[in-house]
Structure 1
Amino acid sequence: MKRKNKKRVPYCNKLHIFDTYSKNPSATPMFKKFASLQWKSFFRSSALGKSLGVKVLMGFFAVYMLVSLALLGASLFFLLQKTVPETDPLLVVNRFLLYWILAELFLRYFMQKLPVMDIRPFLILPVKKSSIAHYVLARSTVSIYNLLSLFFLVPFCTVLVMNGYPAPNVLFWFLGVVGITLSINYINFIINKSDKALIGVITVLLACYALDRFDVWPVTEYVGRLFYSLYENPFWVLLPLAVAALTYYINYAFLRNRIFLDAALRKNTRQVIAYDMEWTRRLGRIAPFLQLDLKLIWRNKRTKTQVFISLAMILYGLVFYTMEDFGPTSTMLVFVGIFMTGIFLMNFGQFIPAWDSEYYSMMMSQNIPLRTYLESKAVLIYVSIGAMFLLSIPYVYFGWEALAINFSCALYNLGVNVPIILFFGSMNKKRIDLTKSAIGNMQGAGAAQFLVGIPLFVVPLVIYFLVSFLVSFEMALILLSLIGTVGFALRKALLDKITKAYQRKKYGMVAGFKEKNS
């Protein structure tokens, strides 16, 4: 019996679908194909469980915010009628649009990022670069940040029409504000990489507030009249829509001119300063790992930024210690103590071992003791907690209670939160690019980074609140200190168990770190 030979399909025919798009782009939109590929990339990722968990958790927060904004938009008109009955509520809203624009720019600078596609596979296919650029920008247009404005504006404008405002004028005012929102969306991508732009936004925001607050120049009154003209004269709606179109084109031209294969493969060169670090050799077997961590922190943009942010957060206590609403034994001050003395623990520790994701697979293939590797991380965090506590000692100016709280919180961080943060690190599977800034960078964040906050903060706050309420303030601090001391004494046994967790999940972590778009 003769065996039928199956006809082999040439590999080039697999590109037929992209040939179809390039010859007849209206047949099947490229947007649909790109969306399908993004969907498959998400569900085929090794970090699916974590990504899905983060999406669900953030979805709940997004729904809550959207519902809250919709309720605010529906009720704001009536609230303004009661608080300022002699002024048109729409005029009051327009007066504060400038602060809303500056605040939204500030928020988007830290939180919003341009949707990323792994475009290199498309650069060798017959796919138009313009289609890729348009798709990336179109995804940003339907982001949650733009929906926040719509969920507020639609109910507010509906209430305006129901209360006798001319519907065409309200519609044009709505379109004008939507144009401003889209302009903010695209302007953010232009200034996102510029620290000078951020400083400029903050300066304008503070200057406007100071001019208005000290009656130097009525900023809100003049700006309110300017935005109110969108309602009075619908012709002016063309201006914000034109700005939105212009900023879209600028972003499109920027992306279109940089989608090249050689640009993606080009490596940046930079000068590296070598440090001897002879003093670390006194620490024995963990010295090589500690040297690597210190060099990693100092030589890379994201880790170096984390250090400066941690040092700056020592001033965080001034926000609470200077407020009369919080007493010297308030539970909120325990949160401040945990946060200040453990800020580096949270900023750096929550991404262990993702900081080493570039070469983690190589490390796991060598004869490197995993326990020694984790012990070096723990020692680095111990030193940071001790340093942050020493920097917090001047808060004794506000009373001995402040020093006692910070001391007990530092002990709790040493004995309890360090093992917790290392254990949650065994769940990290997302790669980190160390060359990118830490500000507003969610790369490497997963469900573990959100869940770890519960044992880090909620547990000590509950312990302190219950004991201080039922017994005394002093006994609550003694109990926190005792728990931290016991945990620190058992650190070797706890580290052994954490090492076993890393060993069980080693191959999953190696696979996850290899995914550059995870």
Structure 2
Amino acid sequence: MSLWSLLRHRLHAFVRVPFVGRRGLSLILGGFLALYLGGGLVLLGVAFDDLVREAAPGADPLLVASRGLLPFVLAYAAVRVFVESGVGADLRPYLPLPVRRSGLVAVLAALSLFSLWNAVPLAFVATVCVEAALDGALGPALRFGLAGAGVLVAVTYATPMLRRGVSARPVLAAVGLFLLVASAGLEWVNVAGGVASLLDVSGWLFGGAVQGRVLPVSGAVLGLVGLAGGYARWLRQAMVVDRSQRRSASGGSSEWLSRLARRGPAWREAVLEVRLAWRNPQTRMSVFTAFLLPVMVTAFAFFPIELSDLRSMSGAQLFNAILFPGLFTTGAVAIFHGQNLFSYEGGSIEATVARPVSPCARVAGKLLFLEAGTLACFFIPFPFLLARQSPFLLVHTSFFLYNAGVLVPAIIAGATFNREALTIDERSFSQTNFSGGRIAITFPLFGVPLLFLFSFDRLLFQFGGFAGLGLLSLLAMPLWLRGLARLYEYNRHAMLRGFRASRS
């Protein structure tokens, strides 16, 4: 079988799916977004040399741009680790075909480069190169273009390996990020000095490559070749379907979870959800992303915020400093993991109904899991906010009550409208089940705190309004449980039909 035949089959596989319309719509929307962002970067590239000459007369625009390549690599790789999905393609169906593994690796490595994630930043690089070439610097412009393309290749190859590392060691990654945020807040490290040194290293490496110096060019080429070789080796290891080594399930944490599971059917469902989230790379990545936000909000404890600052905020400041960090910090587990609560169990058609558990106990277990995750997200920054007596503690507590009482039950209700099963494997870390019913239920609730924040001027009514609403909803949790059980009972067979259609 030739590689061209394999590529033709990949194209046919794109359209021969039950949800090809949804996939095409996502591709169209992504294309429009890429054109919008790419157009803005093209305009920035056209005016970049003029901006540099105004800010630093006599400076070379190509050298200035090259000093920012290394910080761009780190920031862009971090964004793609938590937003982009998987390795870009699932080649397991092609493994039995008469195609060499090296050919499959080459195809996957080449296909991963042709993505909108690379095309959008490349618009800025190409524009800067064209402007420099028109000004007579053809050689440096070509070298800068190669450096920019090499940076995008490096980010593309490093992103899935970083995702695998984070999903395999989420605790160590979370602890490392937490220590970094805490040390920056306590001024144990000089952040400004670190950024300056990073710019200097970028200027030496990529600026030297633009100037044509031998040592920086050799270092950049060797680094890119080594990263590409490591990515190819990583892909060959990821293609192994049957793994003989399995992680041991014994240990103190497993015994502790087993004791919790013996407390009743609802606790057993919650424990099963914990084990599903921890033992699979895809769900483990979603939980890590959820706990990443409370770690980042810990930095708010070290910001000089006063109550008068909260009163004076309006518009974009109110959204960026209050609504987004408040709503998405304690509600992160429910938002990132809860929306696919039932969709992960569609791997086998009978998985949703096979276990002899009542709908009430099943929904109670899901509710218990998300409430525990919400409480954990609340307690991560709580000691720091309390020790520093930060006014942001008011925001944090108010949104915790709202998320625990209103958002968590609503997300469980919306998850019962999912009709597509999601695959749990090591190659597809970020999937989202788009459901119109779920969006209709949950999306308006994101704006309820905003109504209170804009409708009142006093902090008591601004935060006490939706916090009291969440507290009343917590007190009415038995009613929520009965309603959610009936909704799940009503939708369970429709979910099974949707899971079966998505698997066919």
**TM-score class, shorter:** 0.7 to 0.9
* 2:124 matched residue in structure 1: 152
Distance in 2 separating the partners of 1:66 and 1:105? 18
Alignment of 1:385 with 2:360, yes or no, is no
Note the C-alpha offset of 1:353: 1.3
* 1:10 matched residue in structure 2: none
- After superposition, the C-alpha distances for 1:231-257 in whole angstroms (9 at most, x for unaligned) are 444989985567656654564466468
Q: 1:232 to 1:189 in 2, by over 3 A?
A: same
Distance in 2 separating the partners of 1:427 and 1:219? 48
Match of 1:84 among 53, 56, 66: 56
* 2:454 matched residue in structure 1: 466
Distance in 2 separating the partners of 1:188 and 1:337? 29
Letter in 1 for 2:14: W
Note the C-alpha offset of 1:371: 3.7
- After superposition, the C-alpha distances for 1:19-57 in whole angstroms (9 at most, x for unaligned) are xx4xxx7xxx3354133233234xx13x54654554444
Distance in 2 separating the partners of 1:450 and 1:502? 12
Distance in 2 separating the partners of 1:353 and 1:220? 46
Query: Bigger CA drift: 501-510 or 420-429?
Result: 501-510
Letter in 2 for 1:116: A
Letter in 2 for 1:328: L
Match of 2:45 among 60, 73, 76: 73
**Alignment check: 8 A CA contact 1:334 1:406 kept:** no
Q: 1:405 to 1:255 in 2, by over 3 A?
A: closer
* 1:356 matched residue in structure 2: 345
Q: What SS is found at the alignment partner of 1:275?
A: helix
* 1:328 matched residue in structure 2: 310
* 1:37 matched residue in structure 2: 12
Note the C-alpha offset of 1:480: 1.0
- The 5 Å alignment of 1:363-512 reads 363-365=352-354, 368-389=357-378, 393-394=382-383, 395-396=385-386, 402-428=392-418, 429-433=420-424, 436=426, 441-444=429-432, 446=434, 451=439, 455=443, 458-469=446-457, 472-488=458-474, 489=476, 490-492=479-481, 494-496=483-485, 498-500=487-489, 502-503=491-492, 505-511=494-500
* Structure 2, unpaired ranges of 5+: none
Q: Which entry has the higher C-alpha Rg, 1 or 2?
A: 1
Note the C-alpha offset of 1:143: 1.8
Alignment of 1:345 with 2:334, yes or no, is yes
* 1:114 matched residue in structure 2: 87
Letter in 2 for 1:140: S
- The 5 Å alignment of 1:191-210 reads 193-194=164-165
- The 5 Å alignment of 1:204-283 reads 213-214=192-193, 220-221=199-200, 223-224=202-203, 226-233=205-212, 239=218, 244=224, 247-248=227-228, 251-252=231-232, 255=235, 263-273=240-250, 274-275=254-255, 277-278=258-259, 281-282=262-263
* 1:165 matched residue in structure 2: 136
User: How does the TM-score come out when normalised to structure 2?
Assistant: 0.76
Matched pairs, number: 472
User: How does the TM-score come out when normalised to structure 1?
Assistant: 0.74
**Alignment check: 8 A CA contact 2:405 2:472 kept:** yes
- After superposition, the C-alpha distances for 1:351-379 in whole angstroms (9 at most, x for unaligned) are 20134344562342455433431222112
* 2:266 matched residue in structure 1: 286
Q: 1:73 to 1:324 in 2, by over 3 A?
A: farther
Query: Bigger CA drift: 53-62 or 237-246?
Result: 237-246
Q: 1:132 to 1:446 in 2, by over 3 A?
A: farther
* 2:297 matched residue in structure 1: 317
**Alignment check: 8 A CA contact 1:415 1:486 kept:** yes
- After superposition, the C-alpha distances for 1:405-435 in whole angstroms (9 at most, x for unaligned) are 33432332233212221122124323242x7
Letter in 2 for 1:413: N
CA RMSD of aligned residues (A): 4.4
Q: What SS is found at the alignment partner of 1:264?
A: coil
Q: 1:69 to 1:272 in 2, by over 3 A?
A: same
Q: What SS is found at the alignment partner of 1:505?
A: helix
**Alignment check: 8 A CA contact 2:417 2:438 kept:** no
Note the C-alpha offset of 1:83: 0.9
* Structure 1, unpaired ranges of 5+: 1-17
Distance in 2 separating the partners of 1:387 and 1:146? 37
